[in-house]
Amino acid sequence: MHGMTARDRVSALCQFALEGRLPGIKIASPANTAPYVYRSLISADSLTMGILSLASLISCSEGLPRIELCVDESMDPTDVKKSFGVLNIPVHVMTAGDLDAAMGGAGEPLLRAFAKSFFWGRKTAFTFGLKENLPVLYADLDVLWFRDPWTELKLSTISTVLSGTDQHHSFDEDVLSLLTPTHRGLLDGPNPVCAGLYAVGPAFRLPAEILAYIERLLEAGTPGHFCEQTLLALTVKLVGTQYSFERLPTCPVEKSILRPSYFGNNWIAAHYAGPTRPQFWRDAWSLLKW
């Protein structure tokens, strides 16, 4: 605990308490279903956050979507399904191999190669490469939900892409160097797009410009860490819709150590990335009503 701030200490205590309670908690799923697919990537490190993230989704939703998780090599898919099943959260689990086979059947060789190139390329392929006939909502597992995304994000009407807003320009320099001046200019604005929370319309395909950039990246070697966020941001600027920071924030500003950050805000959901991760545990603790 040496060097930890009061904020960090409270967050660590909340995390410890939540992890201790999870095995005995039963989460009541909505009786109705919602006609969209909810997807995320999961690893051993994000399992507890994933349970809390999905619990927050279920607790504020009138209908339950089909929940699909793509697991990395750190966990066995059977163990993932069992961990969520114990808590009454129904999930479908895919491995990287399952995703690769599905994209092969869908005829997506470029996104299939992108998925194999690095972990976050898999994220792009998981959301854009399966030709889903329902809206797809993707969220990283450090996202908490406060309002029903089906109604608040109007998922029934989405035809292209919508996303949330970051406070940081977390874009990949190698990707930016490939962009035309016009495309680069689209990403220079004051409201950067975040790939931690976005939705995709049924059967939507990435624009030809984006696919061309992916092909050039793969020819150059292993893409960089924020590669998929940069490409998603450009897609949104070209053909999509961006929700304001006031509705879908990434890296939300905390209010105090003890007061939940979502109090007094009109958030649909919040993405607690990077330095705001401690706030995830404090806000998750305050939401614990199951």
pLDDT in tens, the chain (290 residues): 456 788 888 999 999 989 888 877 778 888 899 999 999 999 988 999 999 999 999 999 999 999 999 998 888 999 999 999 888 889 999 999 999 999 888 788 999 999 988 887 899 999 999 989 999 999 999 999 999 999 999 999 999 999 999 887 789 888 999 999 999 999 998 889 999 999 999 989 999 999 999 999 888 876 767 889 999 999 999 999 999 999 999 999 877 777 899 999 999 999 999 888 999 999 999 987 55
First to last CA, the chain: 30
C-alpha to C-alpha distances, 225 to 16, 125, 231, 246, 261, nearest whole angstrom? 30, 15, 12, 26, 28
Q: What is the pLDDT of residues 196-236, one digit of tens each?
A: 999 999 989 999 999 999 999 888 876 767 889 999 999 99
Per-domain boundaries in the chain:
6-287
Q: What is the pLDDT of residues 232-256, one digit of tens each?
A: 999 999 999 999 999 999 999 877 7
What CATH number belongs to 6-287? 3.90.550.10
